[in-house]
Amino acid sequence: MGAVVRAEGLTKRYGRNRGIRDVDLEVDEGEVFGFLGPNGAGKTTTIRTLLDYLRPTSGRAEVFGMDSRKESVRIRERVGNLPGEFALEDRMSGEGLLRFFARLRGVGDLRYAHELAERLGADLGRPMRRLSRGNKQKIGLIQALFHRPPLLILDEPTGGLDPLVQEEFLKIVGETRAEGRTVFLSSHNLAEVEKICDRVGIIREGRLVSVETTGTLVNKAFRRVRMSFAGPVDPGPFRALPGVKDLQADRESLSFTLHDNLDEVIKLAARYELVNLEYERPSLEEIFLAYYDGEERRS
């Protein structure tokens, strides 16, 4: 499996504004790659630069091995793109818009488009300008998906969608991957990223600060531990153990986050009569917040 998207030292400055700096990135064929970061981190800038809607200040990007500046037309033919602002104020209906895109792309058959509209509950009959944000977004997704492109680049695909529609969208992404196609999506919604992404890139203040498989990111993080005992427990020795943080205690129970050192914690707990033990891994959201918090303190 080769890289479908590759960025090397990709940098975009907007005058004195930061944009993105030195982004090195590879997205492999057949994977679902999640691009995470808070508002203003540089997700949209990266996506627009990959597709040559923006010219990089320095560095380069390739999509399907083609230079994104020199071969943007050929690249865009093979990409289904949902831009960050899909807000057409058009008189045309969703159906009209899809027919327009179908002609442009030389696709004769709109059956998959109609199937997607049905599944997402999209209203294809109304003028685009009369649709709510979420309903516009559905049309935006359908136009990105219906010609079954080998690469999907989706900027905040579930923004404005209600939870049931989000679930359906996640199924569609799963089917896309099962067909061996590649998906690159940016998101704020960490629960959804955790469900569908094989790998995750975290961007912070224009720099890509981490790329990991979703499993690694979640597994190497801390755990939340809660212990209840049959009698009073002395929290002091627990608090003193390396790896134990944010410990809270009442007479017969302890709760804390554990970053390391499970063995010593269990041995210490075994000196008491333990009646309950909860050991939970955090959500990607908690990891992300902790990551950002830690980064902030380091910088």
Ligand X SMILES: Nc1ncnc2c1ncn2[C@@H]1O[C@H](COP(=O)(O)OP(=O)(O)OP(=O)(O)O)[C@@H](O)[C@H]1O
Interface pick for ligand X out of 7, 11, 19, 27 (rule CB under 6 A):
19
Q: Which of 8, 9, 17, 273 binds ligand X (CB under 6 A)?
A: 17
Q: Is 55 an interacting residue with respect to ligand X (CB under 6 A)?
A: no
Amino acid at 147: H
Per rule CB under 6 A, is residue 214 in the interface with ligand X? no
- Please report whether residue 143 would count as binding ligand X according to CB under 6 A: no
According to the binding rule CB under 6 A, does residue 100 interact with ligand X?
A: no
The single residue among 23, 27, 31, 45 that binds ligand X, judged by CB under 6 A, is: 45
Shortest Å, Cβ 243 to ligand X: 33
**Tokens standing for residue 177:** 């991957």
Q: Is 84 in the site for ligand X (CB under 6 A)?
A: yes
Q: How many residues bind ligand X (CB under 6 A)?
A: 13
- Give 16 or 251: the residue with its C-beta nearer to ligand X: 16
Token pair in block for residue 56: 């990089």
Q: Where do runs of H (alpha helix) occur along 106-189?
A: 111-120, 133-145, 163-178
What is the maximum span of the chain, computed from C-alpha positions, in angstroms? Answer: 74
Output 13 or 119, the one with its CB closest to ligand X.
Answer: 13
Query: H helices within the chain, ranges in order?
Result: 43-50, 72-77, 94-105, 111-120, 133-145, 163-178, 190-196, 214-219, 235-240, 262-269, 284-298
159 binds ligand X (CB under 6 A): no
Give the closest residue to 75 by CA, choosing from 20, 4, 154, 148: 4
Residues 167-185: b if buried by 16+ CB within 10 A, e if exposed = ebbbebbeebbeeebbbbb
When the beta carbons of 205 and 264 are compared against ligand X, the nearer one is: 205
240 to 259, contacts with ligand X by CB under 6 A?
A: none
* 40 near ligand X, rule: CB under 6 A: yes
Q: Does 44 bind ligand X (CB under 6 A)?
A: yes
- Cβ proximity to ligand X, 84 vs 235, nearer residue: 84
d(CA 258, CA 262): 7
Q: Give which of 120, 119, 113 is closest to 145, Cα–Cα.
A: 113
Residue in 5, 6, 42, 144 binding ligand X, rule: CB under 6 A? 42
When asked if residue 135 is in the footprint of ligand X (CB under 6 A), the reply is no
Q: How far apart are CA 117 and CA 98, in angstroms?
A: 11
Choices 11-19, 138-146, 260-268, 270-278 (CB under 6 A): range interacting with ligand X: 11-19
Where does this chain touch ligand X (CB under 6 A) — which range of 37-45, 64-72, 243-251, 273-281?
Answer: 37-45
> In Å, what is the CA distance from 130 to each residue of 74, 100, 183, 219?
33, 19, 30, 45
97's torsion region: left (phi>0), alpha (psi -120 to 50) or beta?
alpha
List residues near ligand X by CB under 6 A: 14, 17-19, 37, 39-45, 84
